[in-house]
Amino acid sequence: MQSKSINHPQNAFLDISSPDPMELTYKDSIERQKTFIFEASFNGRMDMYSDANTVAEYLNAHEGWFCRCAQPMKVEPLSDNGYVLTVGKYGSFGYEVEPKIGVVLKPPVGRAYHMHTIPIPGYDAPGYDVNYQALMELEEVAVDAGQTEKKGLFSKKQNIPSCITRVRWNLDLAVEVSFPQFIAKLSPTLIQSTGDRLLAQIIRQVSPRLTHKVQQDFHLSHNLAVPPKSSRELNKVNKYHKYAA
């Protein structure tokens, strides 16, 4: 029997329909995998004790605050206005991934900031693809001088400056994962619900921590009082989706 020399991808399967059952025919693993798209959408806000122009100047200098506040995620610069983020290890059903994504913070249009995923040169994500879209907008809000907030914006009694900036944001995150055969045999409904729940859990862990660090970094660097926890908000937005194939 003469063997064939074939260039093949990392994942391969034995094709038992071959005339010679011992002959390996390599196929792209995606043909025998199920691909699921997990999605999560959130919106939220954080309040800054300063005017919108001052907050905008701070946000525009993202090469400083973004790297400081994204920790413990690993951050590496990527071209102009871009970064590589290593989020951490996550998994379920015995299948684990360590998402690494490229993101870019676009220059603002007015008081609106758009952030989205970009390709990482020379990096091929192993079995997953991430699509991250976020929009952040600044709204300057006038407050009565000397006002203290007891509920709503702030749960603690605290003097509020005459002008604050409310940063509102929306994010849509979709992760496409091609599962190996042993997982693809499970119920699609179970895989979908578990993946969606895990994705939402990751956002609930990462987003509030990032928001809090940005607030602290801004206010301490400007010698301002740091707003309490009630000045930050995170809400899940339900959207319909289904697995791909």
Domain ranges of the chain: 33-237
Smallest CA-to-CA distance from 153 within 41, 231, 74 is with 231
CB-side neighbour CA atoms (13 Å) of 79: 11
CATH architecture of the domain 33-237 equals 2-Layer Sandwich (3.30)
Please give the model's pTM, rounded to 2 decimal places. Answer: 0.74
Phi and psi angles of residue 19, each rounded to the nearest 5 degrees, phi first? -55, -35
Mean pLDDT of successive 10-residue segments in the chain (245 residues)?
36 31 35 79 96 96 92 87 83 68 94 95 86 96 64 54 92 88 82 89 90 96 91 87 44
Report pLDDT for 89. 66
Report pLDDT for 232. 95
Helices 62-69, 188-221: inter-axial angle, 10-degree rounding: 120
> What whole-number distance in Å separates Cα of residue 5 and Cα of residue 9?
13
Smallest CA-to-CA distance from 154 within 91, 58, 97, 226 is with 226
